[in-house]
């Protein structure tokens, strides 16, 4: 429910949460409260919440007409640096290299109902209520539109900001943030999901202190090293109690998420497009809209946060087409064959895949051009005739006749130097206009800012999907962007600061076009493993390869962190060979399968090298998985063991009276009993 009281107070609330802001005496918007539901509030109740903030020094009055009123002392909804507030703001504008100090004043509000799913990543839901706030900067002839969305079953507050240039001069946007949340106290730990390739999204906690605590990506993708999800966690939080505020972005490009603590120990959380690599030219009568940001709140600790984030992603991000649908058990040939395969050897692997109960065979890298190693053929999406002399359709038919779906690997955003496309269109490669530029993994990045590039890659992939009757795509992205420069932007007279945002919009456009052309196509997101595990990709890909590290022990930490923000159904988990290809650890088959079953189960090893007993064990396991697949993907997930530790991991999924518990120890120690860690008689799996 959204209440607008006396055109001054705005109260978004449901049984989970209240979010309140108001029109301050200078016409700008001030933040009052985000937390547990306060119920119906009167005008007097809301006036009481305003209080009387006092700051003894270091303040500048906003205006001669507002004595003793300073923005430095106020919690604001969309703050701007430089008009009395010396903290970093949510918006920065300039004209001809001169900074502007806009003063956006409230004009009007509107409430709408329902939120349709669009072509580009954003939240959606029939149960959405939307509060649209219009503000104006009359001197600069700018309009600012803030949109807030609230869903009936969620504590999430979804926000976005739109700037409209109603004047005649060009405006340059230097910074526009999506989320802003001010809190009056700072007694929280800053939780981030950080790591690296092969060890993504580990949980890290650090205390807030005066100054800025931040994470960011400058790689052109959300990245392995950081994730757009962050949280402010009560220092006494447990799995089932304690206050948590969290933030995420529905975005896959360069981002920033930070908390600034001022000299009075109030804090401001902001997140959005990273301003370090961003600028946008806003011509007369043009507009720019930020990606959507999402705020979450719970008083029920980590499990309460998990319930909120999982339900939001499942119901308001992932396509309804895939919601609660069973994903196929996959066999992927990569770690079984790498580039060394032909049609005959693959058919033997297909035969074995069918016997173990697999439902989809995914042909990974190496099927196209002259791709026998990582040096060649990206951007030349034609079938390798040496490996498939009868064409890919013949092999696809063999997979389909084996009662499995057929999947295919693509890396659409990349190009190799030996391809006809590279030689014909060198200006389609991302690089600055100087002789030297970087190369990663023997490949270059295509300029997805340029619609012609996206058109070309779409046409190539479309043809392969149609001819080979592809059911499933694994979309990979194996290097980050350097020397970010687009000849196309220069040609259309746009600043190069628009590159990274336009690039990720091009990626989204290709996703959308493929799914519109092939509505039943299932796309697995991948970026050299978990380099783009975010809400933007999940909007199109309901499942993501979380890491190139398939070691079951390492996956325990990756899953523990990732599950704070993203549901089990989004995980692709493969059982691989031992010693593990990435870190050479040996674990038994049961352990590997018992970790991989939480999420979407798959196998990535040479089944022909397994013993008959191992194949029978896998066959038995896939049969058990199919009968429990709905629970393992869509059941309510609970963290049982303490979240922050380094040896024991236990969690459960539950749906009514049915429960499956996972319990794992990296190292067994003498004289330890299971009930020390997993007192099942005391574990109460209830909604929080």
Residues with catalytic roles: 476, 548
Nearest Cα to Cα of residue 178 among 107, 264, 251: 251
Query: Within its chain, how far is the Cα of 270 from the centroid?
Result: 16
- Asked if omega into 579 is within 30° of 0 (cis), the reply is yes
CA 496, CA 482: separation in Å to the nearest integer?
Answer: 13
Residues 6+ away with beta carbon under 8 Å from 107: 134, 135, 136
Residues 6+ away with beta carbon under 8 Å from 251: 121, 178, 222, 228, 272, 273, 291, 292, 504, 534, 535, 536
Exposed, middle or buried by CB within 10 Å (0-12, 13-18, 19+), for 176?
A: buried
| CB distance 261 to 288 below 8 Å | no
Q: Running DSSP on this structure, what letter comes out for residue 494?
A: -
Strand 658-665: give its sheet, edge to edge.
636-639, 648-655, 658-665
CA 79, CA 109: separation in Å to the nearest integer?
Answer: 19
Q: How many CA atoms lie within 13 A of 635 on its CB side?
A: 25
CA 80, CA 65: separation in Å to the nearest integer?
Answer: 20
| CB distance 499 to 485 below 8 Å | yes
Nearest Cα to Cα of residue 296 among 287, 308, 288, 284: 308
Angle (nearest 5°) at CA 91 between 89 and 97 = 110
CA 674, CA 303: separation in Å to the nearest integer?
Answer: 22
Please count the residues of the chain: 688
The CB density around residue 45, as the number of other CB atoms within 10 Å, is 15
Nearest Cα to Cα of residue 155 among 318, 317, 299, 323: 299
CA 88, CA 83: separation in Å to the nearest integer?
Answer: 11
User: Bridge partners of 163?
Assistant: 144, 288
CA 507, CA 253: separation in Å to the nearest integer?
Answer: 10
Q: Are strands 405-410 and 472-475 parallel, antiparallel or unpaired?
A: parallel
Q: Are strands 171-183 and 280-282 parallel, antiparallel or unpaired?
A: antiparallel
């Amino acid at each position: 429910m959204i209440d607008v009281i006396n055109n001054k107070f705005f109260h978004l609330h449901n049984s989970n949460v209240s979010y309140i802001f108001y029109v301050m005496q200078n016409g700008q918007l001030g933040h009052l409260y985000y937390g547990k539901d306060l119920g119906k509030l009167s005008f007097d109740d809301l006036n009481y919440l305003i209080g009387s903030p006092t700051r003894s020094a270091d303040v500048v009055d906003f205006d001669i007409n507002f004595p003793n009123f300073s923005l430095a002392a106020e919690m604001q909804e969309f703050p701007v640096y430089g008009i009395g507030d010396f903290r970093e703001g949510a918006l920065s504008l300039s004209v001809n290299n001169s900074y502007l100090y806009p003063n956006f004043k409230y004009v009007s509000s509107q409430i709408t109902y329902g939120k349709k799913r669009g072509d580009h990543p954003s939240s959606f839901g029939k149960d959405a209520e939307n509060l649209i706030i219009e503000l104006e900067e009359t001197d600069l002839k700018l309009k600012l539109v803030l949109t807030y969305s609230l869903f009936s079953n969620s504590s999430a507050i979804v926000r976005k900001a739109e700037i409209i240039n109603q004047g005649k001069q060009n405006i340059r946007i230097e910074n526009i943030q999506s989320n802003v949340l001010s809190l009056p106290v700072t007694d929280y730990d800053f939780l981030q999901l950080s790591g690296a390739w092969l060890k993504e999204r580990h949980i890290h906690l650090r205390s807030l202190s005066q100054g800025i605590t931040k994470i960011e990506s400058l790689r052109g993708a959300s990245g392995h090293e950081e994730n757009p999800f962050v949280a402010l966690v009560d220092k006494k939080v447990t799995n089932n109690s304690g206050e948590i505020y969290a933030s995420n972005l529905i975005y896959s490009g360069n981002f920033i998420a930070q908390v600034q603590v001022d000299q009075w120990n109030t804090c401001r959380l902001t997140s959005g497009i990273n301003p370090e690599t961003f600028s946008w030219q806003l011509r007369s009568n043009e507009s720019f809209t930020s990606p959507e940001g999402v705020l979450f709140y719970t008083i029920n600790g980590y499990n309460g946060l998990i319930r909120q984030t999982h339900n939001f992603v499942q119901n308001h991000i992932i396509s309804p087409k895939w919601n609660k649908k069973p994903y196929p058990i996959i066999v992927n040939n990569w770690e079984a064959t790498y580039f060394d395969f032909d049609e005959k050897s693959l058919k033997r692997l297909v035969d074995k895949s069918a016997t173990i109960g697999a439902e989809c065979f995914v042909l990974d890298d190496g099927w196209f051009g002259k791709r026998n190693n990582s040096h060649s053929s990206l951007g030349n999406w034609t079938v390798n005739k040496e490996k498939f002399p009868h064409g890919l359709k013949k092999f696809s038919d063999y997979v389909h006749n084996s009662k499995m779906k057929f999947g295919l690997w693509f890396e659409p955003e990349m190009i190799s130097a030996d391809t006809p496309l590279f030689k014909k269109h060198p200006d389609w490669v991302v690089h600055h206009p100087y002789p030297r530029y970087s190369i990663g993994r023997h490949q270059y990045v295509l300029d997805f800012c340029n619609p012609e590039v996206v058109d070309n890659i779409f046409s190539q992939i479309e043809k392969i999907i149609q001819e080979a009757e592809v059911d499933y795509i694994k979309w990979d992205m194996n290097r980050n962007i350097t020397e970010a420069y687009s000849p196309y932007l220069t040609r259309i007279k746009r600043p190069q600061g628009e590159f990274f945002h336009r690039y990720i919009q091009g990626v989204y456009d290709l996703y959308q076009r493929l799914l519109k052309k092939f509505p039943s196509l299932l796309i697995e997101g991948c970026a050299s493993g978990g380099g783009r595990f975010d809400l933007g990709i999940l909007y199109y890909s309901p499942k993501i390869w979380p890491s190139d590290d398939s070691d079951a022990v390492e996956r325990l930490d990756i899953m523990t962190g990732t599950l704070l923000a993203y549901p089990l159904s989004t995980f692709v988990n493969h059982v691989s060979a031992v010693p593990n290809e990435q870190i050479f650890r040996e674990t038994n088959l049961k352990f590997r399968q018992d970790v991989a079953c939480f999420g979407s189960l798959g196998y990535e090893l040479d089944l022909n090298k397994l013993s008959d007993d191992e194949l029978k064990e896998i066959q038995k396991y896939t049969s058990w998985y199919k009968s429990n697949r709905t629970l393992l993907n869509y059941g309510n997930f609970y963290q049982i063991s303490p979240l922050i530790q380094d040896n024991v991991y236990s969690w459960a999924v539950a749906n009514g009276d049915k429960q499956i518990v996972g319990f794992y120890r990296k190292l067994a120690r003498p004289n330890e009993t299971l009930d020390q860690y997993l007192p099942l008689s005391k574990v109460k799996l209830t909604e929080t």
